[in-house]
Amino acid sequence: MGLYMSSKTFFSAKEIELLRERAKPEFIHPGEYSGGWSKSKYEPMKVLEAFPSLSIKSGFVLRAYQFVEGGNGNGVVWAMPEDCSFPEPNECDKLKDTFLECPRPEGAIDVMDVISGDGSELSYISASIFCREISELGAYWHGSSWSSHTIIDEDTKTEEFDFEKIKDWEWLEEKPVNFGPSVKKSEDKTFVVFYTHSGLMPGGLYKHIDIYDNNSYRPKLNSERIAKGGNQYLY
């Protein structure tokens, strides 16, 4: 068998941020909740629709629960068979080893286990962004973290971040040669690499490397801070 050769496919940060923008309307606070856990008013299936190269496996649906306390919010999204009932959170088993002991109804499985794609490089980087977005559906104020991140490349310039100024930052590892979001396929795996900026303390630049096994859209996530600098804040 010959060697499998593949070059990287690069995307612009703006292109990938536009996917997040498509999903953003689904993250608008949908109304008041009672304290503690309840069924979510958010619609996780509409978040998936913002990523055209992704789909859900036949027979499954995404459903969510919402936690609210003191102005802070957290959510949990599950994949469930369409014919399974969607019980109230107090009727579910609780995951004792998770933050806030989130409810898990019978038949529920991890969202990314039922996500499919069209096989394109775009579908894999879409999956990397989708899994982070869906994990924060219902998160706000102190419950949110990923939403503070902006995907960057050499052309990024916003009110919070100017790529030209990072030369003065403290680098925790060697500065990358290319900051563009990229996808590379090997014989048995797909690698997604992208960089983000967040001002949420400790703040700085972050490198994200997601690894996919063949025929799977469930990534192994690895994120680390690679530079310190810029303005920082706390919620």
Strands 54-56 and 115-117, sheet pairing: antiparallel
**DSSP alpha helix (H) spans, 11-93:** 13-23, 44-49
pLDDT tops 80 at residue 3: no
pLDDT tops 60 at residue 4: no
In a domain, 234, yes or no: no
Higher pLDDT among residues 145 and 81, named by residue: 81
Integer Cα distance of 216 and 220 in angstroms: 11
Three-point CA angle 20, 21, 23, nearest 5°: 65
pLDDT tops 90 at residue 113: yes
Can you name the residues that pair with 204 across neighbouring β-strands?
A: 198
Token representation of residue 6: 């593949």
pLDDT tops 80 at residue 139: yes
E strand segments, the chain: 9-10, 36-39, 54-56, 60-69, 72-81, 93-94, 103-104, 115-117, 149-152, 170-171, 182-185, 189-198, 204-213, 220-228
High-pLDDT (> 70) share of the chain, %: 97
Q: What is the mean pLDDT of the chain?
A: 92
Per-residue model confidence (pLDDT) at position 2: 44
pLDDT tops 60 at residue 5: no
In a domain, 195, yes or no: yes
Average pLDDT for 147-152: 95
In a domain, 109, yes or no: yes
Widest pairwise Cα distance in the chain: 60
Helix (H, G, I), strand (E, B) or coil at 119: coil
In a domain, 147, yes or no: yes
Per-residue model confidence (pLDDT) at position 235: 62
In a domain, 2, yes or no: no
Are 10 and 181 spatial neighbours (Cβ–Cβ below 8 Å)?
yes
pLDDT tops 90 at residue 89: yes
pLDDT in tens, 153-204: 999 998 889 899 898 899 999 999 999 999 999 999 999 999 999 999 888 9
Higher pLDDT among residues 182 and 25, named by residue: 182
In a domain, 54, yes or no: yes
Per-residue model confidence (pLDDT) at position 159: 86
**pLDDT-derived band of residue 111, with 50, 70 and 90 as boundaries?**
very high
Domain count, the chain: 1
Helix axes 13-23, 121-135, angle to 10 degrees: 50
Radius of gyration (Cα) for the chain, nearest Å? 19
E strand segments, 87-203: 93-94, 103-104, 115-117, 149-152, 170-171, 182-185, 189-198
Integer Cα distance of 206 and 229 in angstroms: 12
Integer Cα distance of 135 and 157 in angstroms: 27
Structural domain boundaries, residue 186: 9-228
DSSP letter at 209? E
- Phi and psi at 56, nearest 5°, equal -105, 145
Q: Tell how far CA 141 is from the center of its chain.
A: 17
In a domain, 27, yes or no: yes
pLDDT tops 90 at residue 142: no
In a domain, 233, yes or no: no
